Chains A and B, each alone.
Chain A
């Protein structure tokens, strides 16, 4: 059975399913209760499950994650919401020094199934701290798993899979994709949590990215097709670990790779992808792996974001450079 939902609605349904499936699953964060979250992702869940399952936190990100850790020690599976990407840093110690390392500190004898939901990314014209892409910080930290859906269907399934993970998962939700609608298959998940996926077949060049960039890569591939260039598009889906298999196989076929990301490029996921593909598919490459990123600056005032963020045109510019080699 398929339904047409926005990603926001799909996440809401996925959270609903996770809460229904396991009485130990909790939903907490700022404004996730009666308000339903600032993006309405948790709409109506507090009314449905009551204040012992879905509840508002005081305003403190370290407190949200730190108490979620304690709840996990007690046997709960908390899903915490960090309201916006740029607000996650007060929780950085609890996420990276505590949550990420606690299983190792316990020599593997304790699990910390905590999900941290983070609306992230730009293209929404918001004020400072509301448009960032901080996923590389967390992908860099051992002990965490990091994922980002690009479609309503993936959002619906990946949030449930993240809740089932016995390890902590940082779940990045591309907020510019909250409102476009898509088909959701409520019966069978398309893929497991930590797999990447070819979302458009092609032969001349591979584009890889995650989250909101997937739609832009598909748009770029569409334009390129009208010019006779066949582009394969890979949706990363999981940022840690990265499922390199489909990507390396794609590059072995096309010989060219462009990585697209909203985050600044320096020491980014794109850097890791470029390095790993160079190691694993060196002889297949006809051109260096190119990265399309935001600039290595703070996110500028929103009226400048169209100059700062990569879009389909910038992706096509990199495609042309790669093809010219």
Chain B
């Protein structure tokens, strides 16, 4: 089966690529989760996607202008991220990879902190408990899948679910198609099913692991592979924000209710480079890019909102202005960032006292002082 045929297998889709609200057969069991989506929520989804896309573009510019060491873009993946991010409940915990900027923003991360990471000012950037339990980005591919699983084991150890979805916790972990080849990701699937953890694995299949296509990662549809591990596995149109929302909401509620771990394969596309360090024209053709541009998550949802009379030109103008303001504010604050405190090198390595940390910090201070005022 070719990769293209692969993608055409039944995926949950609610809004068609040309913007018609036409839930397909696979979407049927998830429709009750759309009933709770208000018109305001739909406009919120659009706003989330549009603002983050503008932020992403600004971050790319900042990198090109030497203000960031690196940028890992999210262009094209906004629907997968916003739908799943908005499906989370306040008590849920999220383990991202490193390009889930939309989810970070939804949970309350100041996206300046993401840029502090990419500027080389921190290796973290936020305190998960202060930003909706959104954990730090993990740059080693797939490593966070095990952390999420261990955390979810802890949720289960803390007590059986009460049956109240407003209280029971679930864990969501993001990873990409490249990560599915990492042994640690397979181990996470095994541990999750063995311990029946309250968690959902959210795979953003953006088709490219830097320059290597997903066909080199797997000859089997990844959603089928997940089912082989015993995960409740569903494939969705990852560029459909309503599909992403509804399926994630159901999967999370199933997980929090004690029905075991789930898996979502969101079929999407990385419209830009893997990071600013690579050149996608060396490994993929423009026809593929154009094919996916026609499936753009934001344009599609705008057509839907217009067709359903949920938003007018004034709304879209307002969103554009908010996005522009957001980007300008980020730019202003990034360039004002000062250097990190050298104490960060030593003070944060251990929780308890460690003799080498104090000795080496003292040495560095004396050495620096030796250069005089």
Set of chain B residues within 8 Å of A307, measured between Cβ atoms: none
Set of chain B residues within 8 Å of A103, measured between Cβ atoms: 348-351
Q: How far is the CA of A97 from the CA of B139 in the complex (A)?
A: 10
- Given A105-B123, A166-B352, decide whether A62 and B153 contact each other with a Cβ distance below 8 A: no
Tell me whether A241 and B356 are in contact (CB under 8 A).
Answer: yes
Set of chain B residues within 8 Å of A52, measured between Cβ atoms: 157
Q: How far is the CA of A165 from the CA of B148 in the complex (A)?
A: 23
Tell me whether B344 and A66 are in contact (CB under 8 A).
Answer: no
Interface majority SS on B: helix, strand, loop or mixed?
helix
8 Å CB interface, B321-360 against A: 344, 347-352, 354-356
8 Å CB interface, B144-165 against A: 145-155, 157-158
**Contact among A57, A73, A101, A165 for B147, CB-based, below 8 A:** A73
Q: How far is the CA of A26 from the CA of B344 in the complex (A)?
A: 31
Tell me whether B127 and A58 are in contact (CB under 8 A).
Answer: no
Query: How many Å from the CB of A91 to the closest CB on chain B?
Result: 10
Tell me whether A63 and B184 are in contact (CB under 8 A).
Answer: yes
Tell me whether A71 and B151 are in contact (CB under 8 A).
Answer: yes
- CB of A111 within 8 A of chain B? yes
- Given A73-B147, A74-B158, A76-B154, decide whether A167 and B352 contact each other with a Cβ distance below 8 A: yes
- CB of B220 within 8 A of chain A? no
Tell me whether B349 and A66 are in contact (CB under 8 A).
Answer: no
Tell me whether B140 and A108 are in contact (CB under 8 A).
Answer: no
- CB of A303 within 8 A of chain B? no
Set of chain B residues within 8 Å of A72, measured between Cβ atoms: 150
- CB of B188 within 8 A of chain A? yes
Tell me whether B349 and A106 are in contact (CB under 8 A).
Answer: no
Interface string of A75-115 (1 = CB under 8 A from B): 11000000000000010011001100101111111110000
Interface string of B148-190 (1 = CB under 8 A from A): 1111111101100000000000000000000000011001101
**Contact among A67, A76, A107 for B348, CB-based, below 8 A:** A107
Q: How far is the CA of A143 from the CA of B356 in the complex (A)?
A: 11
Interface residues on B, range: 35 or more
Set of chain A residues within 8 Å of B184, measured between Cβ atoms: 62-63, 66, 93-94
- Given A108-B351, A166-B351, A167-B352, decide whether A67 and B146 contact each other with a Cβ distance below 8 A: yes
Tell me whether B344 and A107 are in contact (CB under 8 A).
Answer: yes
Tell me whether B147 and A108 are in contact (CB under 8 A).
Answer: no
- CB of A69 within 8 A of chain B? yes
- CB of A60 within 8 A of chain B? yes
Q: How far is the CA of A72 from the CA of B147 in the complex (A)?
A: 9
Q: How far is the CA of A101 from the CA of B124 in the complex (A)?
A: 11
Tell me whether A165 and B352 are in contact (CB under 8 A).
Answer: yes
**Contact among A60, A65, A68, A108 for B347, CB-based, below 8 A:** A108
Tell me whether B127 and A73 are in contact (CB under 8 A).
Answer: no
Set of chain B residues within 8 Å of A93, measured between Cβ atoms: 140, 143, 184
- CB of A201 within 8 A of chain B? no
Tell me whether A58 and B187 are in contact (CB under 8 A).
Answer: yes
Tell me whether B151 and A70 are in contact (CB under 8 A).
Answer: yes
Tell me whether A67 and B124 are in contact (CB under 8 A).
Answer: no
**Contact among A63, A73, A143 for B154, CB-based, below 8 A:** A73
Tell me whether A62 and B183 are in contact (CB under 8 A).
Answer: yes
Tell me whether A106 and B136 are in contact (CB under 8 A).
Answer: yes
Tell me whether A68 and B157 are in contact (CB under 8 A).
Answer: no
12 additional A-B residue pairs with CB within 8 Å, beyond A67-B147, A74-B151, A165-B352? A62-B183, A63-B191, A70-B148, A70-B152, A73-B154, A74-B153, A76-B154, A76-B157, A93-B184, A94-B143, A106-B348, A111-B351
Return 11 A-B CB contacts under 8 Å, by A number. A62-B184, A65-B146, A66-B145, A71-B150, A103-B348, A104-B123, A107-B124, A107-B344, A107-B348, A108-B351, A111-B351
Minimum-distance CB pairs A-B, first 6: A70-B150, A66-B146, A74-B154, A67-B150, A108-B348, A63-B187
* B interface residues with partner A (beta carbon < 8 Å): 122-124, 127-128, 135-136, 138, 140, 143, 145-155, 157-158, 183-184, 187-188, 190-191, 194, 344, 347-352, 354-356
